[in-house]
Amino acid sequence: MKILVLGSGAREHAIILALLSEEAGHEILAAPGNAGIANDATIVELDANDPAAVTSFALSDNIGLVVIGPEAPLVAGVADALRERGIPVFGPGKAAAQLEGSKAFAKRIMESAGVPTGRAVRAHTRAEVEAALDELGAPHVVKADGLAAGKGVIVTEDRAAALAHADTYLPSGSVLVEEFLAGPEVSLFFLSDGDRVLPLSPAQDFKRLGDGDSGPNTGGMGAYSPLPWLLERFGGEDAFVDLVTRDIAEPVIRQLDAEGTPFIGLLYAGLILTEAGVKVIEFNARFGDPETQVVLPRLVDPLSALLLSAASGHLEDHARPAFADAVAVTVVLASEGYPSSPVTGRALTGLDAAAGVDGVHVAHAATAAADSGDGLVATGGRVLNVVGVGTTFAEARSRTYSALEHIGLEGGQFRTDIAARVVES
């Protein structure tokens, strides 16, 4: 099958690597891709956020499936344009993608569907923000209502910092001031064909920049899967997944369908395990990054068949996807200055040696060929994902960090404690 993957990050690279692992002879194209993706797929000069351009290309090039990786093309309506022309596309339409594009929309859907989540106040002015902060108390949680590349959220005890964060986003629209929820966080993906959902395996990601969950919020600095500690509280991963499927994913998909905005694609549930039960922190309308990088390497079923069935409305043809009894750990290598002002253009070295470590592969997030034509340079904040797979957490984690030692990036930074706690326990 000829598959077009839209996006340029490590998430898209992970999707492409999973499709290629099937050894089914797929022809994979990517737009816009990056230097690492270019080694595994044909790069297409195409504006991934332009519905007309993507549709025209898909028709002229006989694309059998379009997979939309990031959120921007979804909110731009790329999936709608493709569906109107009968092209199978894995990704929700513009209306359903508001589940990620608007935090206020997501809260309304959850309320209508009876899905557990924290209280929230939508604020349009600084005065409304101040009143909401006083009402809900500290720690303060303030979120940009629209897309913010994973950096629109602040959680802080400092009221002044919360107000300053709101001031950053109020000129562009409203913000949500939310109730603080305490507990471990879990990411769980669901494939949806608009009517039915199939869960993947849960993962845990690390949003803070520094070890011990210190520093500013980021798009994600690492992740691991599976989550063995779910056994103690829920009796196992399957029982947890069943609960979330029944109480969260299925009601949300039914509500969206009832409102005439069926959700076809990847429903990402960002969850928190509070003392009062599992609650939703947020929904995303696409594969999460960096969780995708540890979930897909463990997937046993062919990814292409699952995505095509979801896009075509036939997930009833599939049982719950199976996952290997293996562990995956990923660590993000970021540029100096990330997330506020990343330094780009610096050379990357040692990638071949890193990829040569047993059980390791490297997913590229922001890389390009150097102007000299010799080697690669970093082009963004999160540059690479080093992914280690093993039979135990200790083995997978050791492989990941051993590979990182081979990679050179001036000023590069990464967390040293990804999955450390689960290894210790």
- How do the domains of the chain map onto residue ranges? 2-91, 121-178, 185-317, 327-424
What per-residue confidence (pLDDT) applies to 316? 95
Between the two ends of the chain, the Cα-to-Cα distance in Å is: 44
Dist CA 326 CA 346 (whole Å): 35
Mean pLDDT of 347-356: 98
**pLDDT for residue 103 is more than 70:** yes
Residue pair 96/285 in contact (Cβ under 8 Å)? The answer is yes
Banded pLDDT at 24 (limits 50, 70, 90):
confident
Lookup result for tokens 């999973």: 18
Banded pLDDT at 372 (limits 50, 70, 90):
confident
Residue pair 367/379 in contact (Cβ under 8 Å)? The answer is yes
Lookup result for tokens 């509070």: 274
Dist CA 243 CA 232 (whole Å): 15
Full strand arrangement of the beta sheet holding 140-144: 120-123, 175-178, 140-144, 153-156
Mean pLDDT of 116-145: 90
**pLDDT for residue 319 is more than 90:** yes
Structure tokens given for 26: 């797929």
Q: Which fold has domain 185-317?
A: D-amino Acid Aminotransferase; Chain A, domain 1 (3.30.470)
Mean pLDDT of the chain: 95
Strands (E), 255-366: 264-274, 277-284, 327-334, 347-348, 360-364
pLDDT digits (tens, 9 = 90+) for 283-293: 999 999 999 99
Give the residue from 294, 251, 248 showing the smallest Cα distance to 270: 248
**pLDDT for residue 385 is more than 90:** yes
In words, the CATH class of domain 327-424 is alpha beta
Structure tokens given for 171: 């000129």
What per-residue confidence (pLDDT) applies to 160? 93
Query: 97 by DSSP, 3-state: which?
Result: coil
What per-residue confidence (pLDDT) applies to 211? 98
Lookup result for tokens 């919360």: 162
Q: Which fold has domain 121-178?
A: Dna Ligase; domain 1 (3.30.1490)
> What are the phi and psi torsion angles at 165 (to 5°)?
-65, -45
Dist CA 315 CA 24 (whole Å): 20
Dist CA 78 CA 114 (whole Å): 30
Q: Which fold has domain 2-91?
A: Rossmann fold (3.40.50)
Residue pair 255/194 in contact (Cβ under 8 Å)? The answer is no
DSSP state of 246: I
Structure tokens given for 189: 């993906």
pLDDT digits (tens, 9 = 90+) for 170-202: 998 889 998 899 999 999 999 999 999 999 999
Whole-structure pTM value:
0.93
In whole angstroms, how far apart are CA 408 and each of 9, 39, 82, 219?
20, 20, 41, 22
Residue pair 78/16 in contact (Cβ under 8 Å)? The answer is no
Lookup result for tokens 């309506």: 77
Give the residue from 366, 361, 375 showing the smallest Cα distance to 403: 361
Structure tokens given for 135: 């009402």
Dist CA 258 CA 255 (whole Å): 5
Bridge partners, 117 (sequence order): 280
**pLDDT for residue 150 is more than 60:** no
Bridge partners, 178 (sequence order): 120, 141
